[in-house]
Structure 1
Amino acid sequence: MQFSFILVDDSNDFETTLEQIKQFDDFLCVAVCQTKKEGIDKILELKPNVVFLSINDGNESQGSISFSLLSELHEYLEELPTIIVLSDVKEAAYEAYQRGVTGFLLKPIDPNELRRCLFRFQKTHKALFADKISIKSNGDYNFIKFHDIIYLKADSNTTDFYLKSGKVVTAFKTLKHFEKLLPFFFFRIHHGYVINIDYVNRINLGKNSCYLDNNEIILPFSRTYKENIDTIIHRIS
């Protein structure tokens, strides 16, 4: 099982922090944000399991990354993702726990402390995701593992699931309905397509084409979802 995370960090050493977290294969980076606004936007859009929030000093200058990010998130979300605060200021730990964050790590990050923090998260969130989706079609229920789905295709008010086995399962609900039920490794790239990025082999920006399943499947992507394409490239790279 993989968990998604976002790093919100405007410090000069954010790349070092990112590399430390990426040592843990069960945690997949979906975005790195270097402003408070970008952090809020990406958290609301991508709904990560974990947010690493870097608080590097006590300054609350306008637009800087600070604890005020948590207050703004509460305006939109009933429940926040797991927040782990990173700081080079030891005194920030008190405010962090006052605000109900899950963890606090002092910079420079001790790899052993990071490991303990992430292992605690995994232990308490084993049931965070189901690994299957239920698809009903005329009284016939198909229970399909997410990792067996290559892509989904919209067809009027129905959705076709294209599976690794070569089978196609049709569901009598819209693509938009299923998009909300899919885990974080599915991305919409076109009005008519949602793909599982585990099957992406190639992206050609010049041809607006996405190649899946050993280049056997070629799907178009549209400018509307170009930001999702950029995120896929960033994640795979």
Structure 2
Amino acid sequence: MLNSYIIIDSTQTVESHMSDFQQFVDFVCLGIFTDFDSALNAIIEKKPQLVFFHFTDDIPLHFLLELQRYIDDIPYVIAINKEDKNAYKAIKYGVMDYILLPLTVIEIRKAFMKYSMFSKKTVQENLCIKTNSDYYFIPFDDIMYLMADNNTTDFYLKNGKVVSGFKTLKFFQAQLPFYFFRIHNSYIVNINYVSRINTSKSDCYLFNNEYKLPYSRTYKENIETIIRRIV
């Protein structure tokens, strides 16, 4: 099962270790944020399951108190700092794990493994789609992509079937797990099925290149995240 995380680091210290993070293919990085406001907005908007938080004078620990003003479900926060004496203070702010700089791949691995053991929440695995008088309960893993069709949404499934739901794409987007990425005003894709991105033609290929969808520059950040996932 895929998990999502973001990195908060005003110094770019953590970013220099991205090759180490990318070894763990069950965890997808939704972005790296270098200032207080963008980091706060990213957690509220993207709802990552984990946050690697290198706290500094620029983005101090009270960032976590600010976050609690806006969301009830605080993600699993892994604090990063160069001083072990700051660990107790970080724990008082509610962090779940603490990593000392300099970063090593073994510490990153241990952090991911601790989260995997900690996370025992029941996750919704199906989406309910109403069409006419029928209700379809479709596993998320079976959905390759969604396409807007006026005020309805077509779901393209891996078995070749298409199911039409009588709601807008925006409505269904709010019901989907994090690994469904909007790439166009008319398309949302399951990144598990993305097999190729052509940046010169702005095309996204799915299911071993059997499906080709256009993507919009408006969603460039999402495309960059998908590319990091498949390279």
- How does the TM-score come out when normalised to structure 2? 0.87
Number of the residue aligned with 1:143: 137
Q: How is 1:167-206 mapped onto 2 (pairs within 5 angstroms)?
A: 167-206=161-200
- Residues 118/208 of structure 1: CA separation in 2 closer, same or farther (3 Å cut): closer
Q: Secondary structure at the match of 2:88?
A: helix
CA shift for structure 1 position 120? 3.5
Q: Secondary structure at the match of 1:224?
A: helix
Letter matched to residue 39 of structure 1: A
Is the 2:36–2:63 contact (alpha carbons within 8 Å) kept by the matching residues of 1? yes
CA shift for structure 1 position 19? 4.0
Q: Is 1:161 the equivalent of 2:155? A: yes
Q: Is 1:228 the equivalent of 2:215? A: no
Q: Percent identity?
A: 45
CA distance in 1, matches of 2:105, 2:206: 36
Q: Secondary structure at the match of 2:159?
A: coil
How big is each residue's C-alpha offset from its partner over 1:103-153, in whole Å with a ceiling of 9 and x where there is no partner? Answer: 122223466665554333223323352222222223322222212111101
CA distance in 2, matches of 1:190, 1:77: 28
Q: Is 1:48 the equivalent of 2:48? A: yes
Number of the residue aligned with 1:96: 90
CA distance in 2, matches of 1:200, 1:71: 37
Number of the residue aligned with 2:119: 125
CA distance in 1, matches of 2:170, 2:79: 34
CA distance in 2, matches of 1:173, 1:117: 39
CA distance in 1, matches of 2:228, 2:21: 16
Structure 1: stretches of 5+ with no match in the other structure: none
What is the total number of aligned residue pairs between the two structures?
231
Letter matched to residue 104 of structure 1: Y
- How does the TM-score come out when normalised to structure 1? 0.85
CA distance in 1, matches of 2:214, 2:21: 33
CA distance in 2, matches of 1:236, 1:36: 29
CA distance in 2, matches of 1:227, 1:90: 35
Structure 2: stretches of 5+ with no match in the other structure: none
Q: Secondary structure at the match of 1:210?
A: strand
Is the 1:7–1:18 contact (alpha carbons within 8 Å) kept by the matching residues of 2? no
CA distance in 2, matches of 1:155, 1:25: 33
Letter matched to residue 10 of structure 2: D
Worse-matched range after superposition: 172-181 or 74-83: 74-83
Is the 2:127–2:138 contact (alpha carbons within 8 Å) kept by the matching residues of 1? yes
- Residues 72/134 of structure 1: CA separation in 2 closer, same or farther (3 Å cut): same
Q: CA RMSD in A?
A: 2.3
CA distance in 2, matches of 1:170, 1:29: 31
Letter matched to residue 76 of structure 2: T
Is the 2:195–2:230 contact (alpha carbons within 8 Å) kept by the matching residues of 1? no
Q: Is 1:107 the equivalent of 2:101? A: yes
How big is each residue's C-alpha offset from its partner over 1:54-105, in whole Å with a ceiling of 9 and x where there is no partner? Answer: 12x5xx3xxx222132233223222221111011111211221111111122
Worse-matched range after superposition: 32-41 or 182-191: 32-41
Is the 1:30–1:235 contact (alpha carbons within 8 Å) kept by the matching residues of 2? no
Q: Secondary structure at the match of 1:228?
A: helix
Is the 2:65–2:93 contact (alpha carbons within 8 Å) kept by the matching residues of 1? no
